[in-house]
Amino acid sequence: MAKKNVAEPETLGEAMNKTELFLQNNGRKLAWIFLALLVVAAAVWGYRALITLPRAEKAAEMIAQAQARFDGQTPDFELALEGDANGAGFLEVIDRYGSTPSGNLARHYAGICYLRTGDLENAAKYLAQYSPVKGIPGAIVNAQNLGLQGDVAVERQDYARAVKLYEKAVKAADNNLTAPMYLRKAGLAARAAGNAAQATAFFEQVLTEYPASMDAREAEKLLGTVN
């Protein structure tokens, strides 16, 4: 008989922790970083600059408008998605400039918006459409994207899938900030699934490999809840 789940899945608010909020608040900077990478590529392939670069620049301008709604003190996620007469939304950026770096990033942010408004189906759809990018800033966003897909799986009570996605998030950006967080979430998902041994292994990994992390103390507490 499967072990009864005594732990509530993390709420959407808990899922958007300090790391995700930092990325959310610095989204415009990330868009311009991606644009800068594209400029370098366009310089190498100069004949493409006449078409590729202007599109990328326009897309970056449009995504900044959507992020203004996303990053505000009182975020309006529906407006950030749909846009209005005063500015584009993430969905318009995807529709018009989906092949640009900003279009790719817009898919990620659209997924977050749907997640925050409780539309799990579209959240999963758009998060999965994001293509991983290279570089340190990209690795952090890649990890966040996988972690958010894990959060969607938790909300759907698909704990086995959540564990796999959190493990991928750890590998995508193995650092002292995000990796222990996703290991802790993997442990929570494993515990919710009734897999005590797996949950214990994840919590112990946080303590062993990331003892100075913010999640280590929480992992130590969580070990006492696994039996």
Q: Which residues contact 180 (CB under 8 A, 6 or more apart)?
A: 206, 209, 210, 213, 214, 215, 216, 219
- The C-alpha atoms of residue 95 and residue 16 are separated, in whole angstroms, by 26
Tell me what the mean pLDDT of segment 61-72 comes to: 90
Q: pLDDT tens digits, residue range 80-130?
A: 999 999 999 999 999 999 999 999 999 999 999 999 999 999 999 999 999
- The C-alpha atoms of residue 209 and residue 37 are separated, in whole angstroms, by 33
Distances (CA, A) of 110 to 46, 50, 82: 32, 28, 10
Q: pLDDT tens digits, residue range 16-33?
A: 454 455 455 555 555 555
* pLDDT of 180 above 70: yes
Helix (H, G, I), strand (E, B) or coil at 84: strand
Q: What is the pTM of this model?
A: 0.79
Which pLDDT score is estimated for 45? 47
Domain boundaries, the chain: 12-156, 170-227
Q: pLDDT tens digits, residue range 142-171?
A: 999 999 999 999 999 999 999 999 999 999
